[in-house]
Amino acid sequence: QRQVAESGGGSVQAGGSLRLTCVVSGYAYSHYCVGWFRQAPGKEREGVATIDSDGNPSYADSAKGRFTISKDNAENTVDLQLSSLKPEDTAMYYCAADLCWRLVQGAEEVRDWGQGTQVTVSS
């Protein structure tokens, strides 16, 4: 059974940092990706960063230079380091795992989601 679970959200002031962790289990196929999405109130869920099974990352423009995605294969975890946070980064952050093409296509195509973790950045 495939499972995805996040942790690590919280509240910080602008310019601060947070580290989100996603634990992924039950994926037998090698060509899956893990990604982080976020959804602010009244907005659509948007992709933030993804990492493939070989550890290659990709980032949304809003995340480049500030966020870093990494994985630990031994622990089956994928972390998202959030730095230089801005109030506009405030959102529920979701971890997702699926075949890579589904994450590339967008949130509508992704089948496996965590429950979400809230990130709040105050000015």
1's tokens:
């059974």
What's the 3-state SS for 1-41?
Answer: CCEEEEECCEEEECCCCEEEEEEEECCCCCCEEEEEEEECC
56 by DSSP, 3-state: which?
coil
The mean pLDDT of 97-110, rounded to a whole number, is 93
> How many Cβ atoms sit within 10 Å of the Cβ of residue 54?
8
Q: What angle do CA 95, 28, 94 make, to 5 degrees?
A: 5
34, 97 Cβ separation under 8 angstroms: yes
Average confidence score pLDDT of the chain: 94
pLDDT in tens, 34-93: 999 999 999 999 999 999 989 999 999 999 999 999 999 888 999 999 999 999 999 999
Model confidence band, residue 107 (pLDDT cutoffs 50, 70, 90): very high
Determine the pLDDT at residue 29: 66
Mean pLDDT of 108-113: 94
User: How many Å apart are CA 5 and CA 69, to the nearest integer?
Assistant: 16
pLDDT of residue 73: 86
User: Residue 31: is its pLDDT beyond 90?
Assistant: no
pLDDT band for position 10 (50/70/90)? Answer: very high
